[in-house]
Amino acid sequence: MQRDSGEGAAVLSLRGISRSFGTTRAVQEVDLDVAAGTVHALLGENGAGKSTLMNVVYGVHPADAGWISVDGRDVRITSPRQALGLGIAMVHQHHQLIPSLTVAESVTLAAAHTGWRYDKRHAAGHVQRLADRLGITIDAEARVSDLSLGDRQRLEILSAIDRDSRVVILDEPTAVLAPTEIEPLFRLLRKLAADGRAVVLITHRMREVFAASDAISVMRKGRLVDTLETARTTPDEVLGLVIPARREASAGATVLTGVVPGGTTTGAVPLPEQPTSRSSEPALEVDGLVVPPAPGTTGLDRLTFEAFPGEILGIVGVEGNGQHELVEVLAGIRVPAAGSVRACGQPQRPGTLAPCTAIVPEDRHREALVLDLSIEDNLVLPVLGRYTRGGLLKKRAVRQHAQRTISEFAVVAGSSAAPTRSLSGGNQQKLVLARALDQSPRVLVASQATRGLDPGATAELLDRLRQVAAQGTCVVYLGSDLDEVVEVSDRVAVMYGGAVVGQSTDPDAERDTLAALMVGGGG
């Protein structure tokens, strides 16, 4: 399958592309050539500017400066519509699909030229033929809202091919896929390249780069560091470009350990002795929880597990396998159809927060924080009674509490009266965690807590969780990234179809088994 990446002419050329957001210079003077017939990986950390650069190409965030040429012709792209007209399509990480439409309607909608009339049968046939040609199975009559995330992605690619796009950009396509879905995706991408298209693969995962690409461009802090030919480089060389500090870290460990100054490495973390934690009573017992399935999620199907004081129980699974429902039930937002929860020995009253439990919900902006309220106000929301006298807020006590938390958790904030909207993601997450720990919980449930955080903030957060567990708290960590969950947890359970389908007390060694379980494979 190896091709010479220099074989095709550059179908897409960027020269001196820059784009800022406010004072943040997201992309700075990037030159890039993407050749036809190749898969070109765009690699870098979070916030390195990869997505922004490609959103410039796709017209979502038009460039502040620089030139774009397609097939050697200079073009100006200020909207996705223009980009599509030039044969550039982009599959976003958060899929740009309309849930209420059917697959066939979605493809028709995105198509450039169709008649006034929408003929259901004709459209369905068209989609089916297209899917067959690419070797994809998809039900043309299905509603988008009923599709799995993988199917939605295939639908997006289908649309791009239907328009005969010559440049197909995919933003972190594997983020939503189960490990076993990744290989077929890469085969599909190769097929697209073999047709003479240029495929741009945005990713931050090294193994994907070597599994799928012909050329690698590395971005760091908004700049394009270098472009290498995949066949003539090594993972170590590439990694050195992505994070210079990483060069010295030992192979095998994740990058995280290398970038945190003074941070403990995974191996050095003092883990509580497993046997002692096992011998004690479970801190959290979830027994036979049932939540009916809904579009986009499997609900819970007699979910049962236990978690012990002083351990970090990782619950890993592809999103939409009931994790969100589990957190909702524990938080008292959702009443399960059946089943019960006990925390620190007491039963949970359905519809209320589980006893002595604190929650770090998965979506910081939507579920955890009230962004327009100040840091002070957010911090006291769950304990308002403590800061109220005669109905009036004890303003001074609230402020002192906030300032204490800010210094204790090293939150970078202008003032405690600033709206939480003004904080960075990492600092927002610190607040959420601080608020959860402020209630001295015996059980801490954290869901997708590192999402959107940069490596430093991620490492800090995971370290904090380890400390919390070391002090005897039971930590339940829900995540969709197997490697991260394995790294932080003492014990890993896999959630699939709303139930725990397997667990491992030695997750490092059983990684592949866990990966198989995540997609319902036997293990």
Instruction: Please report, as residue ranges, which positions from 378 to 407 form the binding site for another protein (by CB under 8 A).
Output: 380-382, 384-385, 387-388, 391-393, 395
Does position 476 interact with another protein (CB under 8 A)? The reply is no
CA–CA dist 26, 16 (Å, integer): 13
222: left (phi over 0), alpha (psi -120 to 50) or beta: left
Which of 214/285 has CB closer to another protein? 214
Of 320, 259, 354, nearest to 448 by C-alpha is 320
Binding another protein by CB under 8 A: which of 92, 166, 197, 401? Answer: 92
CA–CA dist 476, 302 (Å, integer): 18
Compute the half-sphere exposure of residue 30: CA atoms within 13 Å on the CB side of its CA.
Answer: 38
> Which residues have C-beta within 8 Å of that of residue 507, sequence separation ≥ 6?
314, 485, 486, 489, 491, 492, 514
Which of 302/395 has CB closer to another protein? 395
Does position 165 interact with another protein (CB under 8 A)? The reply is no
Which of 235/292 has CB closer to another protein? 235
Which of 93/403 has CB closer to another protein? 93
Of 320, 406, 419, nearest to 373 by C-alpha is 419
Using only C-alpha atoms, what is the Rg of the chain?
A: 24
Does position 337 interact with another protein (CB under 8 A)? The reply is no
**Total number of residues that touch another protein (CB under 8 A):** 110
Region of 3-11, 88-96, 268-276, 401-409 interacting with another protein (CB under 8 A): 88-96
Does position 326 interact with another protein (CB under 8 A)? The reply is no
Distances in Å between the Cα of 411 and the Cα atoms of 364, 414, 424, 435, 456 are: 15, 10, 10, 12, 13
**Minimum Å distance from CB 281 to another protein?**
26
Binding another protein by CB under 8 A: which of 366, 396, 410, 440? Answer: 366
**Minimum Å distance from CB 278 to another protein?**
28
| Contact string 303-322 vs another protein (x = CB under 8 A) | --------------------
**Minimum Å distance from CB 292 to another protein?**
15
Binding another protein by CB under 8 A: which of 71, 287, 306, 481? Answer: 481
Does position 96 interact with another protein (CB under 8 A)? The reply is yes
Amino acid at 183: E
Does position 22 interact with another protein (CB under 8 A)? The reply is yes
Binding another protein by CB under 8 A: which of 148, 190, 210, 306? Answer: 210
Does position 463 interact with another protein (CB under 8 A)? The reply is no
Does position 51 interact with another protein (CB under 8 A)? The reply is yes
**Minimum Å distance from CB 199 to another protein?**
17
**Minimum Å distance from CB 217 to another protein?**
14
Which of 95/223 has CB closer to another protein? 95
CA–CA dist 318, 435 (Å, integer): 28
Residues 234-253 contacting another protein, CB under 8 A: 234-235, 239, 242-243, 251-252
Q: What are phi and psi of 233, to 5 degrees?
A: -135, 175
Does position 335 interact with another protein (CB under 8 A)? The reply is no
Compute the half-sphere exposure of residue 4: CA atoms within 13 Å on the CB side of its CA.
Answer: 4
CA–CA dist 157, 173 (Å, integer): 10
Residues 436-455 contacting another protein, CB under 8 A: 448, 450-455
222-227: long-range contacts, CB 8 A cutoff, minimum separation 24: 222/25, 222/26, 222/27, 222/28, 222/30, 222/48, 222/49, 222/52, 223/28, 223/29, 223/30, 223/49, 224/30, 224/31, 224/32, 227/32, 227/33
